[in-house]
A and B are shown apart, each in its own frame.
Chain A
Amino acid sequence: MADRMDSRHAYFMKQALFMGEKALETGETPVGCVLVYNDEIVSSGMNDTNKSMNGTRHAEFIAIEEMLDKYPRSHLRSTDLYVTVEPCVMCASALRQYQIRAVYFGCGNDRFGGTGSILSLHSDLSIDPPYPVHGGIFREEAIMLLRRFYIQENENAPKPRPKKHRELKTSFEAGVSGN
């Protein structure tokens, strides 16, 4: 993917990364996404679980909610999602229900990933049609966002774990998830 990555995919993923950056600044898990309809970004989202006290407010849901302000849901059938991290099981199912056209993600998600890492909800038997998934676009940038977040302590958790001695890792192993 990375070799043949055309500037269009790169541009949209950069915008998703920008949303992830914004999430990091506000103390949210740094995952960002954009929805692209007719070659145009029609909405964007970033995680909002901490501020909203609602564990289901993932970037994908925020972006879909914003898009549905302007368009009927049938437009999602001609819409692509660019998201920095592989959609979780919840979002992977939601995207299937919304019949998204295609999903492009940065890095894999081996804790919750719903489009290949833990489950394959984009292609499993379901009452909605499957959707194609392409991973690995700006994978390292997406991982660095997450690393910068996870070396911090989670002040929102009832019992934050002390993480004083953690150091930011900057190296990458070749060929792990997300490709």
Chain B
Amino acid sequence: MDAESILRGVQPLMGEVVPIRSVQETRPLEEYAEAYVAEVNVKTASKVIKALDSKFPRDSSHPQSHLRRFAKHNQIPESLRPTLLKQGYLPSQTIFVLVPPPLPAPEALQALLAPFAPPPREPPTTPQPTEPSSTTTSAPAPADTTPAASKITLHTITVPMQPPLTPPQAELWSSKMWPVVFNPAAPRALIAPPPQILSRVRDSINPKAGHYLALAQIVAAEAEQSGLGRGVGAVVVDPELEPEATDIDPQTEAAEGGSTWTDAIVAVAGDGRYSRREGGNPAQAELVGGGGGGGPNPNCGVYNADCEGGPELHALMRVVELISSKRREDQPGSRRQQIRPVLYGLEDYFLKKSDVAAKVEADDGGVGPRIRSRAQGGYLCNDLDVYFSHEPCICCCMGLLLSRFRAVIFPRRGRMVSGGLASEPVVKPVPVETEGGESTEASEDKEDDSEKTREYYGLHWRKELNWRALGFEFVAENDSTGESCAEKGVPFHA
């Protein structure tokens, strides 16, 4: 069947696209540290801040703006009240200042804060017995000053070092540890994509994701049937080439047998791990498949590393190479093309389409070629989206980040034990769970008990890495029926 009729016959997967949470969201880093609290004269609060900030400058690489610097009496968590409020001052007289880590020497801090100590209480009560408490450091009262007024007591408490991720978390910390501020924008900047960008991209890819993923599966089937690779496919889309959303409705359009839904596709590639000759020996496809084309390669049924080719023959690496060959404007028969040949009909179809469209669009002064060359400003896989039939292996996940893809999408049913994108086990539907965070925690606890079957890298978005992409999983309408899931099949690197 020729490419055009294959494309006209594509039946989109039905379902929807959901963002893959970052590992910082699924396994939030909860870090706590000790901080000092001191009771000071409420009228001197602004001077206290000035004195602290000039003596102990804040480290801007560890912002602690989520921790309130002062707590009024009524903001002190219940558990700290017996310790902090025992001096018996009125809320109109004193306020509590927080000194977060790195902690200065207690003596230096006490000396600095001494001028801001609350005035002695009137009438003076019986002298406070000095309690040998491990959490309280009393200043040695110098004999030549007014002892009661200069005495600063430092209380040691525990505070959260990371900003809260949710309002409930902020409330919890405020009620148990120290008053905390929730800022919806700031804390997420590093640990997850900005919500507005994530939802805008999700909404824009959702309508056609089912089509692209269905095509990725067709490409995968072509690779598997050829005997040259495993059944894994990748489809690369340039969002800039998408027709305006109002122009066509992909559902209707596909139903009418058209293929304009393919307009934004710039390249596709299937897996080719059995196609390469190594050390002058025949390729796996030639050894066992009689030259290819004779149906699935028998190696597909097992995982034998020696027969797996290598990651550069995986669908992602192959599609990246096809795109870079256009950027480089390789001539037919070039050395790179001999090393990494085009293997499948659909790959060839889209590459040729790129050539033709380039001429047409350039003539009418349009947007330019579908895959811009280096000379035309094309760069790696900048701002492209990639759709997979399976969850790519961690090597390919990093490869797509290094290639600067904008977004990566794969079907949940295509999860692999060797995959690099998922950040948590699939959460089975829990009856009537209103609090999303709680149901996740429950499932994670269960996972810890059972034997670990895979790593959850969530590599698409990790704050430690220089490059990040938006990651999405496609949840099919009938996924909950639990039929055929690649994660339970033969393990291999997709």
Taking a contact as CB atoms under 8 Å apart, the answer to whether B465 and A111 are in contact is: yes
- Given known pairs A52-B324, A54-B320, A54-B324, the reply for A73 and B306 (CB within 8 Å) is yes
Closest 7 CB pairs of A and B: A90-B398, A93-B395, A54-B324, A53-B327, A55-B402, A89-B398, A55-B403
Taking a contact as CB atoms under 8 Å apart, the answer to whether A127 and B492 are in contact is: yes
Residues from chain B with a CB closer than 8 A to the CB of A150 are none
> C-beta contact mask, A2-38 vs B, less than 8 Å → 1, else 0?
0000000000000000000000000000000000000
20 examples of A-B residue contacts, CB within 8 angstroms: A52-B324, A53-B324, A54-B320, A55-B399, A68-B310, A72-B281, A89-B459, A90-B394, A90-B395, A91-B395, A94-B311, A97-B305, A97-B395, A98-B310, A112-B466, A119-B457, A121-B394, A125-B455, A127-B491, A156-B379
Residues from chain A with a CB closer than 8 A to the CB of B377 are 158
Taking a contact as CB atoms under 8 Å apart, the answer to whether B303 and A158 are in contact is: no
Bound-complex Cα distance A75 to B465 (A): 32
A88 within 8 A of B: yes
Bound-complex Cα distance A154 to B317 (A): 24
Taking a contact as CB atoms under 8 Å apart, the answer to whether A90 and B308 are in contact is: no
Residues from chain B with a CB closer than 8 A to the CB of A118 are 462, 464-465
Residues from chain A with a CB closer than 8 A to the CB of B459 are 89
Taking a contact as CB atoms under 8 Å apart, the answer to whether B465 and A89 are in contact is: yes
**Which A residues have a C-beta under 8 Å from some C-beta of B?**
49, 52-56, 61, 64-65, 68-75, 88-91, 93-94, 97-99, 111-112, 114, 118-119, 121, 124-128, 156-158
Bound-complex Cα distance A81 to B377 (A): 36
Taking a contact as CB atoms under 8 Å apart, the answer to whether B465 and A99 are in contact is: no
Residues from chain B with a CB closer than 8 A to the CB of A114 are 398
Taking a contact as CB atoms under 8 Å apart, the answer to whether A56 and B320 are in contact is: yes
Residues from chain A with a CB closer than 8 A to the CB of B464 are 118
Q: A56-B399, A97-B395, A112-B466 are in contact. List 10 more A-B contacts (CB 8 A).
A: A54-B324, A73-B309, A93-B394, A93-B420, A119-B457, A121-B394, A125-B454, A126-B455, A127-B418, A128-B305
Bound-complex Cα distance A93 to B493 (A): 10
B381 within 8 A of A: yes
B312 within 8 A of A: yes
B271 within 8 A of A: no
- Given known pairs A56-B320, A72-B279, the reply for A89 and B328 (CB within 8 Å) is no
Taking a contact as CB atoms under 8 Å apart, the answer to whether A158 and B311 are in contact is: no
